[in-house]
A = this chain, B = another copy of it.
Amino acid sequence: MKSLEEKIVHDGFALGTEIVKVDSFLNHQIDTAFLQLIGMEFKRLFGDISPTKILTMEASGISVAVTTAIAFDSIPVVFAKKTAPNTMIEDFYAADVKSFTKGTVSSARVAKKYLSSADKVLIIDDFLAHGEAGLGLLSICQQAGAELLGFGAVIEKEFQGGGARIRQQGCRLESLAVIQKIENGVITFR
């Protein structure tokens, strides 16, 4: 998605060799006009499938999951929770997820009643880096017996291997911008 690559270059910036900061439009401040375009692009790329639900990870996946769900005729979104509130009393699926940017391991949880073998799932997330969050969402889908139709990532950092790990699971992956490397403040796209 050319306009996304341009936005990453103009509004984001590279931090070392591993991190691209896009909190000006994607994961702290949210450019809601642009995120609607992203939702429409996912709808175009996955135009041949008919998901019943979008699955994502809190917190920064929620906004793009919502605009994508709206593009798919307003299907429901389910977001995995990384902390369990005391209001979460029912059975849930869980997967351990390591965060490289936060240095933590958390348990991602989805209440069983919101994902089942009747669901056809499209996973949407803001970033695909090492693939930890993505594999956690795949595991939750498998535990639920849901049919996984695809995985859409806004930004894939190819050099961190998450994309390869998701595809190895036999999952169709569409990434709107694929970063090959970050070097001396320059972001190179595939």
Interface residues of A (CB under 8 A from B): 15, 19, 21, 23-24, 28-33, 35-36, 58-60, 62-63, 65-67, 69-70, 74-79, 81, 83, 85-89, 99, 101-104, 110-111, 113-114
Contacts of A66 in B (CB 8 A): 30, 32, 35, 62-63, 66-67
Q: Is B23 touching A87 in the complex (CB atoms < 8 A)?
A: yes
A86 to chain B, nearest CB (A): 6
Contacts of A88 in B (CB 8 A): 23, 28
Grouping DSSP codes into helix (H, G, I), strand (E, B) and loop, the A interface class, with mixed when no group exceeds half, is mixed
With A24-B114, A58-B58, A111-B23 known to touch, is A29 a contact of B77 (CB < 8 Å)? yes
- 10 interchain pairs, CB-CB under 8 A: A15-B89, A24-B113, A28-B110, A30-B78, A32-B77, A59-B62, A59-B79, A66-B66, A86-B101, A87-B101
Bound CA–CA A62/B60 (angstroms): 9
Contacts of A81 in B (CB 8 A): 28, 59
Q: Is B102 touching A85 in the complex (CB atoms < 8 A)?
A: yes
Select which of B69, B83, B99 is within 8 A of A102 by beta carbon. Answer: B83
Select which of B23, B28, B32, B114 is within 8 A of A69 by beta carbon. Answer: B32
Residue of B nearest to A109 (CB): B28
Q: A23-B111, A23-B114, A32-B66 are in contact. List 14 more A-B contacts (CB 8 A).
A: A23-B88, A24-B114, A28-B81, A29-B114, A30-B65, A32-B74, A32-B77, A36-B70, A59-B59, A62-B62, A66-B67, A85-B99, A86-B101, A87-B101
Select which of B19, B76, B85 is within 8 A of A32 by beta carbon. Answer: B76
Q: Is B70 touching A32 in the complex (CB atoms < 8 A)?
A: yes
Q: Is A28 touching B63 in the complex (CB atoms < 8 A)?
A: no
Contacts of A28 in B (CB 8 A): 78-79, 81, 88, 110-111, 114
